[in-house]
Structures are given as C-alpha cells and as structure tokens.
Amino acid sequence: MTSQIMPTYGRLPVTFSHGKGAWLWDDNNKRYLDAVSGIAVCSLGHAHPAVAKALRQQSKTLIHTSNLYHVAAQEQLAMVLTAKSGMDNVFFANSGAEANEAAIKLARYYGQQRDIKKPEIIVMEKSFHGRTLATLSATGNPKVQKGFEPLVSGFIRVPFNDIAAIEQAIAQHKNCVAILVEPIQGEGGVNIPAADYLNKIRTLCDEHQLLMMLDEIQTGIGRTGKFLAYQHNGILPDVCTLAKALGNGVPIGACLARGTAAQLFSPGMHGSTFGGNPLACSAALAVLATLDKKDLLYQAQRKGQQIVDAFSSALKDQPAVVEIRHQGLMIGIELAQPCANLVAAALEQGLLINVTNEKVIRLLPPLIIKPKQIDFLVSTLSTLIQKHSQPQSLL
C-alpha cells in the first residue's frame, strides 16, 4: 500500500470503520474485541453515547474561541478535576507529551525562582513521557532518543522502584528540583513498584524541597481502580499530568499543580492555541460524569481482579509465563521469551492486544468490558500463549 503519511509507525494490516463499547469492526465487517482501548484512551469504550452527545451539543454552539478569552467549559472542567484530584489548578494542553512539557517547565521555573541556574529533574530508567524533545529526553528508553541528539539536558536518571538510588542522586546533585515518575510504568512493561514507593518519594520531596511530579497519563482517569493511581497511596503530588482517557479519544492533556507549584505560572509564560477548547473540555466533562454515574472505578478494580484470576488459572501450568501483574485494568503478562508475534496472531482471532518491552503482553481493556467479553479475552489469549510457548511455536 502506498501512503502519503510519514512512516513513523509499524502498523498492523487492519483499518477500523466503526466501534461500539469494547467492540471494533474493520472495513470487511470483521469484529474485534479491543483490549487495548487505543492505548488506554477509550476507557468508556467506542462511540460512548454521553461523549457523542456532549460533542454534538458543543459543536452546535461553539468549538473554539481562544485562550485570549474565558472558556466556560474549561473553568468547569478545572473545577471537577481539582475536586477529584486534590490539586489546586490546571493548565490544559492537547496531549500527554504537552502536559509533561508544562510539568518540566514548571519544575525548571521552580528552580530558577530558588536561584538554581541549571535545574535538574530526577527521572527513571524504562520510563516513557512522550516524543517531544524535552519529554523524549526525560524518557528512559534509548530507542526513543537515538538519532535525536543532542538531548535536552537537566535530567538525572535512576532505576525505577529504587529509593536508595533517588537518595543518592539527591545527595550528588545539588541542582535537583523535582522527581518525575509514573506510578506504574506503562510502556516500560507494566512495572508496578513497591506499595510504599510513592509515599517514600513524597517524604524525600518534602525533606529536600523537590516537586513530586507524577505522570498519570496512562494510569489516570480510573485505569487502576482509583481516579488517580496516587490515591492508592493516600498522598498528593505537587504536579500531576493527564491525557489519554481524559477525553475518551478527543485529544486533551492537563497539567495539574498544587501549593507552590500552582503559583508559578503567570500570563505569557506558557500557552497553547487549542489547549482546553470548548469541544475537548465538553468531552472530558462527559467522561468524568460517566465515571461517577456508572461506578467505573469500582468496576476497574473488580474486573481487573477477575481477569487476572482467570488468566492465573488458565496459565497456571505454563512455565513460559514469568509473572502476571496488574492494578485495576492495567494488566501485564510477562513471558520468558519475546512475544511481539502474538499481536498479529490475536488480531487474526479478532482480539486486539499490545506487547511492550518485548516480552510483556499489555492489556488495557475498556472499563465497561462485559463478562462475556472477558471470557473471550481470557480464552483466546490463553490459547495463543500456550501455542506460542510450545518448543516448536505453532504460531
């Protein structure tokens, strides 16, 4: 197939024409169960009526004005987000990378205000924060960075889930102003840290006057069974970034701040033409209202456990399975050998899955997934894993 699109993606040979709930249909009308949700985006499923209605109504009155003026839907969304998160205020962007750019700028400005001329941010190995220059520099994956040097400076990298390494970095780098971390690493392989990891980071940030910045772009908006993953820990960060599921597919990103971090930006310091426009905000408001109405946080916890229990039992005698880990509906099945070929095999069976970090099957099903769909997911994927794991792989 010839295409006028820059070849930045290795695409699977399928084009979807429409969707409903957890199902997608391709242009030959073949049906697929979507256990990826557009990489943690369509958590309410496809063609959700509340989102469609909000978009329809908003587009009939006003799609965009500009941040030169007050935007009512933006004010409303900021009120809901701050109430749900415990944060003080919000900057709206259009994507995850842009939300993180805002966070990185906040951290640098926080440093400059304290007379630190070359502020540095502690970031993690195997992290993923986006593809813009600053966020790819913060990302802990050389493949994402290769060829785009010189990278943006000012990042200190330490292993994930290693408090001693952070303590050492703080001791060695007097210019340290912030720690940026994902509560669970998504692209890095669904890596779940120790239960008190975030609490210990919070303590270190308090002791050393560092901003605690959580990238909740993948973990946020109910994915892990709480509205935000840090709510499992009973702490508050200073900065938190969101995108992905916030608009259920309508592009919107947000950088939330609290306390000192919420007082840093003033007019002219940051901006975005589209950020927080009426259309995107009305979609996000519909998403947040639906999460509450349908008790979807509880559903994410319950269904996540159910899926993992079912996989654990179906795969219990399978030595190729190294570990099944999850929080809510963010699920990783780590195999002993690379398994990227499972994605195409599952596609053939009418199932969308993802593989990350070579050996980890990542499942991010919509929060509205139904019991029969869970059965289909578990039986189809377990069979594929069993075939894949035979000495002479049958795939």
3-state helix, strand, coil in the chain (%, to 5): 40, 20, 40
Work out how close the CB of 154 gets to ligand PLP at its nearest, in angstroms, rounded to a whole number: 18
- Contact by Cβ (8 Å): 121, 153: no
From 21, 45, 111, 130, residue interacting with ligand PLP (rule: CB under 6 A): 130
Nearer to ligand PLP, 120 or 215 (CB): 215
Closer residue to ligand PLP, CB minimum distance, 40 or 374: 40
Please say which residue, 364 or 374, places its beta carbon nearer to ligand PLP: 364
Establish if 38 lies at the interface with ligand PLP (CB under 6 A): no
The packing angle between helices 296-314 and 278-293, to 10°, is 70
Q: What residues numbered 94-113 form the site for ligand PLP, per CB under 6 A? A: 95-97, 100
Tell me the β-bridge partners of 20. Answer: 23
In the bound state with ligand PLP, the residue whose beta carbon lies nearer, of 348 and 358, is 358
Catalytic residue among 128, 155, 311, 376: 128
Task: Exactly one of 34, 126, 215, 303 is catalytic; name it.
Answer: 215
213 sits near ligand PLP (criterion: CB under 6 A): no
* Collapsed DSSP state (helix, strand, coil) of residue 155: strand
How many residues sit in the footprint of ligand PLP (CB under 6 A)?
15
Q: Is 244 a catalytic residue?
A: yes
Which residues contact residue 233 at a Cβ distance below 8 angstroms, ignoring those fewer than 6 apart?
Answer: 195, 196, 198, 199, 202
311 labelled catalytic: no
Helices (H), the chain: 37-40, 49-61, 72-85, 96-113, 133-138, 142-145, 163-172, 197-208, 278-293, 296-314, 341-348, 371-389
- State yes or no: residue 45 binds ligand PLP (CB under 6 A): no
d(CA 161, CA 128): 15
- 160 near 180, Cβ under 8 Å? no
123 binding ligand PLP? (CB under 6 A) = no
For the bound state, the minimum distance from the C-beta of residue 253 to ligand PLP, rounded and expressed in Å, comes to 6
From the list 236, 239, 245, 334, the residue with the least C-alpha distance to 342 is 334
Residues 109 and 264 sit within 8 Å (Cβ to Cβ): yes
Closest residue to ligand PLP using C-beta atoms:
96
**Shortest reach from residue 41's CB to ligand PLP, in Å:** 9
Q: Which SS3 state, helix, strand or coil, does residue 332 take? A: strand
Query: Does residue 128 belong to the site contacting ligand PLP (CB under 6 A)?
Result: yes
217 binds ligand PLP (CB under 6 A): yes
CA–CA gap between residue 215 and residue 209 (Å, rounded): 19
Q: According to CB under 6 A, which one of 243, 279, 377, 385 is a site residue for ligand PLP?
A: 243
Q: With contact defined as beta carbons under 8 Å apart, do 49 and 253 qualify?
A: no
Is position 155 annotated as part of the catalytic site?
A: no
**Which residues share a beta bridge with 176?**
120
Catalytic choice (126, 244, 303, 359): 244
CA–CA gap between residue 20 and residue 25 (Å, rounded): 9
Q: Is 129 in the site for ligand PLP (CB under 6 A)?
A: yes
Distances (CA, A) of 69 to 72, 89, 358: 10, 18, 47
The residue range among 14-22, 58-66, 211-219, 275-283 that interacts with ligand PLP, by the rule CB under 6 A, is: 211-219
Q: CA angle at residue 253 from 249 to 258, to 5 degrees? A: 140
Residue 328 interacts with ligand PLP (CB under 6 A)?
no
Q: C-beta of 80: minimal distance to ligand PLP in Å?
A: 21
CB of 187 to ligand PLP, least distance (A): 5
Closest approach of ligand PLP to the CB of residue 228, in Å: 13
Q: Which residues are catalytic?
A: 128, 215, 244
> What is the binding site for ligand PLP (CB under 6 A)?
39, 95-97, 100, 128-130, 182, 186-187, 215, 217-218, 243
